[in-house]
Structure 1
């Protein structure tokens, strides 16, 4: 069974972390993530002879390497092309298990998540690329697909390239809106992959995995400030991983404190209580500063510190978003406060407001046409 003759188009949104960074890479630890209205679009159409994969943004033309002793070590985890290939290989393995004939096609990937002049905003382009590719191929091959299955397939594909991370950005890209995400047990998955078919794996409950949709309070306004310096998540998370062993005690304390903070923050969402959420944003910022101090990783750069300080002075709660070390900071401010003055101060300090809004995925965007 081949795909349609017509062209299939799907999209997957980018994301920003609101809270719970770093701790979320541990199984069962929570984070709050939001999907944004910037997208990766995938188009796919049948071809008779030769297939193609074309992406304006991600030409496979440069590789990154560093020294480890005398050896040259390559790291392509930040090049989304690898995620496209991984997503294709996994989705086709799933299609094959379900008895589909594999076809030849043209796949086009177009991303709004990295701006036209090559700026990387840290909006989770590799995750959105993975989700969009999986989604497009599932349509093409008429594979049974709902949000939980899409999440699992894209998570496996992403993990096989990146090798670390929480996969929370995949969850945000699949589910949309505001979510509370608890990461699954990667060791369990690693074992299961060797002994379980993909079809079975997609139907199983994954240990510790939990994805809950949140409704933000009506008076909450999310503002995003970009500091102009991208951060490489895979390298930062590796750095913290190195530290874990050395700082067992402090790291465990950080994890437990982060979990407690997020639990209170999620309760704040359920209660529609903006002030409670803001209190926990400040708490989470403090915990991340502590982690940065004992792990010797710069999570809060001087310009991010400035951005947060200005937001706090305007009556908002603010913190770094994601791995930190550059990229974005997020601000939760009461709708009643006019942010014009704050934005003027940001602009003065070279902090750019990203004009993005929260994206909510509708169910029909998943189901097969």
Structure 2
């Protein structure tokens, strides 16, 4: 039996970090994906291989342990957590491929988690729907990170551009929002779990300062929702710039991220900000008339992706 699944990357337009504290957020699936294939092993060992990421490991799925043969562990923790949640611990071979830069703020761990769970459900003939898959994927991320927003796994599961309300209700934007964006990312990977923890500690030390900031980020996200529905790109860009300022206050900015944000604006982006947890990773720039100029500007010192939003979420199938 061979089970295949894939799930898209995501980018957060508004609401990083504040979403952890039940404020709204806006995020969208983008046209980069993670792919997982699961087959029965011909030996008594479970193996995880990724030629894209250049690693291989023997997995102890029952005890969530691994023996690394080559490469860096990174994403293996999410895969082991998913396997422990669903798999019957029989020997399997899992192949992972991805065109999502790891640690870049594009939700690589969520995409891998969603794709892994979907492939496992297919492999074991377990019935599931998108709602249950998004929930289970969030539980995996939370187990690994300690605290995690449901947004990344939700977007990777459903696809499209979504608004997550304060009460966790999901609204899919019906408006055509195929605006051109540039993502810049550094070689310094962000650590989502650490950044979420650091913001929580900052909030606990300075509640009278940070609580209003988080509340204001939520209000900003609601303004952005209306701007997106009106396709008011100038307003969206302005709000992106404001959102970046709030993220700087939360301490998740870095010299490299700041450099990319201001390079993007200097090259013609009407809005640019950190996307994701920060501490490394990515920025996103809205470039209705300057995609190539912004991409060239960022590429002088950092890495660049031109992205579009996609309506395609998780997909899976099985071959017997």
TM-score normalised per structure 2? 0.83
Q: Cα RMSD between the aligned structures?
A: 2.7
1:34 aligns to what? 28
Is the contact made by 2:180 and 2:291 (CA closer than 8 Å) also made in structure 1?
no
Task: Name 1:197's counterpart in structure 2.
Answer: none
The reply to whether residue 132 of structure 1 matches residue 112 of structure 2 is no
Q: Secondary structure at the match of 1:354?
A: strand
Structure 1 residues 131-189: Cα deviation after superposition (integer angstroms, max 9, x where no partner): 11110111122222111111011111221222112132111211112222347xxxxxx
Relative to structure 1, is the Cα distance of residues 210 and 346 closer, same or farther in structure 2, using a 3 angstrom cutoff? same
1:280–1:367 Cα change, 3 Å: farther
The residue that corresponds to 2:303 in the other structure is: 352
Task: Provide closer, same or farther for how the CA distance between residues 60 and 83 of structure 1 changes in structure 2, counting only shifts above 3 A.
Answer: same
Q: Secondary structure at the match of 1:223?
A: strand
**How far apart in 2 are the matches of 1:245 and 1:300?**
19
Unaligned runs of at least 5 residues, structure 1: 62-77, 93-101, 184-207, 293-298
Deviations 1:236-263 (A, max 9, x none): 2111111221101111101210110001
SS in 2 for 1:239: helix
- 1:339 maps to 291
Instruction: Report the CA distance shift for 1:79/1:280 in structure 2 as closer, same or farther (over 3 A).
Output: same
The secondary structure found in structure 2 opposite 1:309 is helix
Aligned residue among 106, 125, 128 for 2:92: 106
CA contact (8 A) 1:230 1:326 kept: yes
Query: 1:79 maps to what in 2?
Result: 74
User: Is the 8 Å Cα contact of residues 145 and 367 (structure 1) preserved in structure 2?
Assistant: no
- Distance across 2 between alignment mates of 1:213 and 1:291: 28
Q: What's the counterpart of residue 143 of structure 1? A: 126
Residues 334-369 of structure 1, C-alpha deviation per residue, up to 9 Å, x if partnerless?
A: 2xx143333333233x03221443332268x36889
Distance 2:195 2:291 in 1: 32
- Could you tell which deviates more after superposition, 252-261 or 119-128? 119-128
Find the partner of 1:240 among 193, 196, 199. 199
Normalised by the length of structure 1, the TM-score is 0.73
Work out which of the two has the higher radius of gyration on C-alpha atoms and give 1 or 2: 1
- For 2:281 and 2:199, how far apart are their aligned partners in 1? 18
Distance 1:291 1:48, change over 3 A: closer
Contact 2:269/2:285, CA 8 A, preserved across alignment: no
Shift, 1:271, TM fit: 2.4
How far 1:87 sits from its partner (Å)?
Answer: 1.0
Q: Does 1:121 align with 2:80?
A: no
Distance 1:130 1:120 in 2: 14
1:215 Cα offset (Å):
4.6
Unaligned runs of 5+ in 2: 59-72
Q: Which has the higher strand share?
A: 2
Supply the distance in 1 between the matched residues of 2:318 and 2:237 (Cα, whole angstroms): 40
* Alpha-carbon distance, 1:17 to partner: 2.0
Whether contact under 8 Å (2:28, 2:160) holds in the other structure is: yes
Matches of 1:311 and 1:265, distance apart in 2: 20
Count of residue correspondences: 301
**Deviation of the 1:223 alpha carbon:** 1.1
Q: Kindly tell me: are residues 344 and 41 of structure 1, through their superposed partners in 2, closer, same or farther at Cα, counting changes over 3 Å?
A: closer
Q: Is the 8 A contact 1:145 1:368 kept in 2?
A: no
